[in-house]
Structure 1
Amino acid sequence: MNLTRAGSLARRLRAVAAVAVTFALSMIIVPAASAASAPSSPPPSPSQPHLSTSSLTGLQWCDADTPGGRPLSRSHTPLVIASKELADRDRTGMRMLVQVAPPDGRPLLTGEAPYLDTGERRATYQVPEGALRDGEYRVRVRTVDARGKSDWVPWCAFTVYTGEVEKPAVPGALQVASGPYSPFQRCGDPANPPSFSVRQVGILASMSPRDNPNLVGRFEIGRGEEEPRVEPASLIGANIWPGTLPDGSYRFRVRAEDGITVSDWSSWCDFVILP
């Protein structure tokens, strides 16, 4: 009798244990299934895009009220740039999807570029060679990732024109300083040129017309009869790092460029780096 009762008790204990294990497994599996079935939210929409003829020229916003009207590219391979919100820092792998189309036609170009995880989390897409010719276009962007797609932002109208335009004026207001944080000294008196002892040189000029968003300056720095040093084109100035120029007398000049058309060179601006 005792053995029978013991065997019955053992069977009951095994049954209870089996139920407990089944319940424990269900507690593990059910939440995972619920999480998998939860809808994923789409990424935030990017900012309204802006365009640039190249990495050297200024950014042009998609706003007809800005100076010069709609963006104007002086190249057939403009840059399309947009940034996204920083709220969803846990989302990775987000990309900017770009569509370019004629004013009233279907998209003729679709491309994408990753958002760089720095600063504003900006994405830059360059239109490939051969896709555009001179004419009117529109562009729009959206953000995509593995969890969804944002809405498209409104279309942005822009113009591509690589023909002749008004010749830029000769740059004026040439100035020089001993680095970006020092006050600039205006050029113009050869008998009393700007001078300083710090070997980091900053040079500056004013471009016009101001309603041409593609203007950049091309700077040349010379010393006596030596071949001038040509600095990469920039929006308004150039910075020469310490140790690049030894002590002595120098001069620089600048001309305005918009990618195709160039101005005449300015007059030379003399300056001296003291020992």
Structure 2
Amino acid sequence: MWNKPFRGRPGRAVLAVAAALALAGAAAPLSAALSTTAADAAEAQGGGRDQLLPTPEVPRISDGPYAGFQLCGSAAGNPVATSGSPTLAATLESVAPPGTVETPNSDGPRRKVVFEVDEADGKQVVRKQLTSDTSHDAAYQLPEGKLTNGEYRWRVRVMDGATVSEWTAWCDFTVKRS
């Protein structure tokens, strides 16, 4: 019976095997997509890797409200501050979803911004945590007398509750007061 060549239409068993193979082929990618690890589940629940906010961008320094900003890491070289109280600033990623208008929080601003200023050798001069008035920009004017002539560096990060961004890269700058 098994030695005879197949002639005619396939039997029910052949159709059942073909259907089972087709169904298994379609179900395998679906089951792989549905399987999750503990890390994937934590990420979906708001934990894990998504606890980082975007790193603040465009770190810059200004000598005063009308002086304009010098960008950190530009081809022109390191920024030079000619006053003892330059303003440090960075652009923050907006928390409002694209296409929506961000409304002020009735409890006040939500984001905390941490600025660090070190001497070139790494000795910390200032660590200041502020609350941003907007979710778009953060600025901090160093108090007069904190910096003398010399080489410094600064960086910034933003916190929104338990969610924290990475630090920006260090921005090297020079203070040359007259």
136, 140, 160: which one pairs with 2:151? 136
- Unaligned regions of 5+ residues in structure 2, if any? 1-41, 98-104
Match of 2:57 among 47, 51, 56: 47
1:89 to 79, 85, 96: 96
Cα drift, residue 64 of structure 1: 4.3
| Aligned equivalent of 2:124 | 107
Q: Secondary structure at the match of 1:99?
A: strand
Instruction: Give 3-state SS (helix, strand or coil) of 1:104's partner.
Output: coil
**Residues 99 and 111 of structure 1 are in contact (CA less than 8 Å); yes or no, is this contact kept in structure 2?**
yes
Offset of 1:70 from its aligned partner? 1.1
CA deviation string 1:49-96 (max 9, x = no partner): 100001110110012412xx211111111000111112x227961122
Q: CA deviation at 1:116?
A: 3.2
- For 1:123, the equivalent position in structure 2 comes to 138
- 1:4 is matched with which residue? none
Q: CA deviation at 1:115?
A: 2.8
Aligned to 1:70: 78
**Among the aligned pairs, what percent are the same residue?**
31
Displacement of 1:38 in angstroms is: 4.7
Q: CA, structure 1 residues 135+149, in 2 after alignment: closer, same or farther (shift >3 Å)?
A: same
Give the alignment of 1:171-186 within 5 angstroms: none
Letter in 1 for 2:169: P
Greater per-residue helix proportion: 2
**Larger-gyration structure (1/2):** 1
**In 1, Cα distance between equivalents of 2:144 and 2:169:** 25
Aligned amino acid, residue 127 of structure 1:
L
**Aligned partners of 2:52, 2:73: CA distance in 1, in Å?**
27
Q: Counterpart of 2:85 in structure 1: which amino acid?
A: T
Q: Against the structure 1 CA distance between its residues 135 and 117, is the aligned structure 2 distance closer, same or farther, given a 3 Å change threshold?
A: same
Structure 1, residues 131-190: CA drift from partner, whole Å, max 9, x if none?
A: 111111001111112122111111000011112xxxxxxxxxxxxxxxxxxxxxxxxxxx
- Cα contact 1:83–1:115 (8 A) shared by 2: no
**Count of residue correspondences:** 123
For 2:46 and 2:165, the matched residues in 1 are separated by: 18
2:176 corresponds in structure 1 to: 161
**RMSD value over aligned CA atoms?**
2.3
Q: Which has the higher contact order (CA 8 A, sep 6+)?
A: 2
Structure 1 runs (4+) greater than 6 angstroms displaced: none
1:20-73 residue CA offsets vs partner (Å, 9 max, x unmatched): xxxxxxxxxxxxxx9xx752723221113100001110110012412xx21111
Q: Distance in 2 between matches of 1:146 and 1:62?
A: 28
Q: 1:150: which partner in 2? A: 165
**What TM-score comes out, normalization by structure 1 length?**
0.41
Q: Which residue of 1 aligns with 2:22?
A: none
